[in-house]
Amino acid sequence: MTEEKGMPLIGEKFPELTVQTTHGIMKLPDDFAGKWFVLFSHPADFTPVCTTEFVAFQKRYEQFKELDCGLIGLSIDQVFSHIKWVQWIKENLDVEIEFPVIADDIGKVSAELGLIHPAKGTNTVRAVFIVDPKGVIRAMIYYPQELGRNMDEIVRAVKALQISDENNVAMPANWPNNEIVGEDVIIPPASSEEDAKERLESAENGEIECFDWWLCHKKLNR
């Protein structure tokens, strides 16, 4: 039996793994070195919700590529099952799955990543790992088996994390359609009285906008 481990934590390095995929043997995170990638697990091949998810991920594959972000799936199925399922999707739904799918038939990878819920048998939960170019886990999202994911949210999360890194800002709820600041980004809170004073002076000069010294925002092109 494989040892079930707890899930990795945000901010930790993604575990070094050698995996069998529909595109051959891959090494994670090394094969995505220098770029973002999203690893997502699904409960099983040839199941209704998982099929809708694979089609949805593929429909957004170009959006992920534009963000220099790879995709890779995973379930506790043999590679033969993955290959046949991908073929079925192509033949019956006219959607060609371009990203690799990990065949974790003995559950070792799933145990390493904490993807097996004890109350759900040996199937993996619907997990999402967003990993940055340095191989660091930046976000994780877990869904129950009965709930399919919102792929637009995953695209949004990757894009928002990239903008946050590039501009040293935080991203508001529902960005870019926040109810308070619209498409603006949040300036990290002041860490000293001097920072707070400078923040308010910048607001007076029109460089940024503030509701108060601790809640300031700006447009990306400023």
User: Beta strands 69-75 and 36-41: pairing type?
Assistant: parallel
For this structure, is 216 an active site residue?
A: no
Q: Which amino acid is at 72?
A: I
What are the backbone dihedrals phi and psi of residue 7, each rounded to the nearest 5 degrees, phi first?
Answer: -70, 150
Strand partners, 41: 74
Per the residue annotation, which of 50, 69, 210, 216 is the catalytic one?
50
User: Beta strands 17-21 and 24-28: pairing type?
Assistant: antiparallel
Kindly report the length of the chain: 222
Residues carrying an active site annotation: 50
